[in-house]
Amino acid sequence: MQAAKTPQAMRRHVVILGDTNVGKSTLFNALTGQDNSIVSPSRGTTTDPVQKAMELIPFGPIVLVDTAGYADSSELGRQRMQKTRAVSRRADAALYVADATAFSGESYREFAREGLPHLLVFTKCDIAGEDVPQSLQAAYPDAEFLSGYGEPLVERLRQRLSALLTGLEPEEVPLIGDLVPSGGTVILVMPIDSEAPKGRIILPQVQVLRDCLDHGIKSMVVRETELESAVRDLSAIDLVVTDSQAFPIVNQILPAEIPLTSFSMLLARQRGNFSQLLAGVDAVEHLPDGAFILLLEGCTHNSTHEDIGRVKIPALLRNKTGKQFVYDIHSGYDFPEDVSGYHLVIQCGGCMLAPRELLNRLQILEQRGIPVTNYGILLAWGSGILERCRQVFSSDNGNLQ
């Protein structure tokens, strides 16, 4: 039951790829144990990606995604491929499905060059004849060969996929556990404004609070209005973590000797190229008037007068630079195919995005030479306290941890 509650951003993403009409959707349904995707002998039945959160035993919670097939050269097919590529960009691993009766290898070789960890799965082996599977087994000894979708065959594939994902597991960087000693004390500042979800706190705050518990760190949760009294109540404070929007007031209240950072900066260090995001904010002062800025929001929500991406950041940049900029705003997993026209990219904390998606975005932007930063870093810069906030992440020699 607890795995069912795991947020999708914290699950490994596995995408099912391959040409049209090779059995991807049938395999998707077999792996999930439900008829989530429509199955038809007609080519191109799957148009939009279909995803299902599931428990992959013994690995753990994953998101499995069915996609439209390759080899569709129509205009509609081109649009379908854009969505398939977008899904692949956030995938940790893939199942590449191929028809054993009609396998040329061209699409698979093109896919394999991308380097995404995967299993090659041949379907329709029961109707391919004896010689075809044998020749394919000789050429692709690590592939899986399915003659139907019976439970023993599907379970073997689940086990192999579980082993593949287990082998990909890196040593996870803590959010706060390596910055504060066990037994240390932190204050978590969580403002309650019109954008705060009613009756709960947002995911980065939950994650930092849980990380404190996991590492034996004592934490006090307050609003910015209680911060001053909280500082007086505690004899020793190792770190204060605040929502980025409260940087100015928290910085004013907090004595200079107490380290300060934000939930967004903690998340950025754990999930992306933190040095790249820190360097990206330096580009702001050099932006020309009318510069084109891409704002990336990980979640979709209604805009309010307190909206950080659509209201507060544009106002901050206008006030700090005295210039007018043009903003292009994309939400969720929507990421432009062509980013060459942007002078700067500003990414939210990305708590609702798969980690692989964030890393791939940063790699694309680095390859294109486009500076990128995130909300928390930009707001610290705008409040004049970026140097203070980044010191938390520096070792004794000044290098980022």
Report DSSP letters for 137-166, one per residue. HHH-TT-EE-SS--HHHHHHHHHHHHHHHH
**pLDDT over 90 (residue 71):** no
Q: Which of 71-85, 141-155, 306-320, 378-392 has the lowest mean pLDDT?
A: 71-85
Could you give the percent of the chain with pLDDT greater than 70? 87
Assign a CATH topology to domain 272-382.
Answer: Rossmann fold (3.40.50)
H or E stretch including 388? helix 386-390
* Mean pLDDT across 161-172: 85
Question: Mean pLDDT throughout 158-166?
Answer: 95
* 3-168, CATH topology level: Rossmann fold (3.40.50)
CA 366 to centroid of chain Cα atoms: 17
From CA 217, how far away is CA 220, in angstroms rounded?
Answer: 10
Residue intervals in the chain for CATH 3.40.50.300: 3-168
Q: Above 90 in pLDDT, residue 40?
A: no
**What is the model's pLDDT at position 85?**
80
Q: How many CB atoms lie within 10 A of CB 371?
A: 21
pTM recorded for the entire structure: 0.77
Query: What pLDDT is attached to residue 1?
Result: 40
Torsion of CA 378, 379, 382, 386, to 10 degrees: -80
Mean pLDDT (whole number) for 370-396: 91
Contact assessment for residue 224 and residue 187, using Cβ atoms and an 8 Å cutoff? no
Which residue(s) pair with 146 in the sheet? none
Residues 366 and 9: their CA atoms lie apart, in Å, by 23
Q: In this model, does residue 305 exceed pLDDT 50?
A: no
Q: Kind of pairing, strands 12-18 and 60-66?
A: parallel
Across 66-81, average pLDDT: 71
For the chain, the C-alpha Rg in angstroms (whole number) is 24
CATH 3.40.50.11410 domain range(s) in the chain: 272-382
Q: How confident is the model at residue 2 (pLDDT cuts 50, 70, 90)?
A: very low
For residue 27, the SS3 value is helix
Amino acid 251: pLDDT: 95
Residues 16, 156: Cα–Cα separation, whole Å: 17
Who contacts 64 (Cβ-Cβ below 8 Å, separation ≥6)? 14, 16, 28, 31, 32, 51, 52, 54
- The residues near 205 (Cβ < 8 Å, ≥ 6 apart) are 188, 190, 243, 263
Q: Rounded to the nearest 5°, which phi and psi values hold at 137?
A: -65, -35
Question: pLDDT grade, residue 309 (50/70/90)?
Answer: confident
Measure the CA–CA gap between 239 and 173, rounded to whole angstroms.
18
Task: Give yes or no for residue 43 having a pLDDT over 70.
Answer: no
Q: How confident is the model at residue 307 (pLDDT cuts 50, 70, 90)?
A: confident
Q: Are strands 144-145 and 93-99 parallel, antiparallel or unpaired?
A: unpaired
185-267: which CATH topology? Answer: Rossmann fold (3.40.50)
Rounded-to-integer distance, Cα 187 and Cα 194, Å:
22
Residues of the chain with CATH 3.40.50.11420: 185-267
Instruction: Give residue 302's pLDDT.
Output: 47
Q: Is the pLDDT of residue 197 over 70?
A: no
Query: For 19-23, 260-264, 384-388, which range has the lowest pLDDT when averaged over its residues?
Result: 19-23
Q: What's the rounded mean pLDDT across residues 246-259?
A: 95
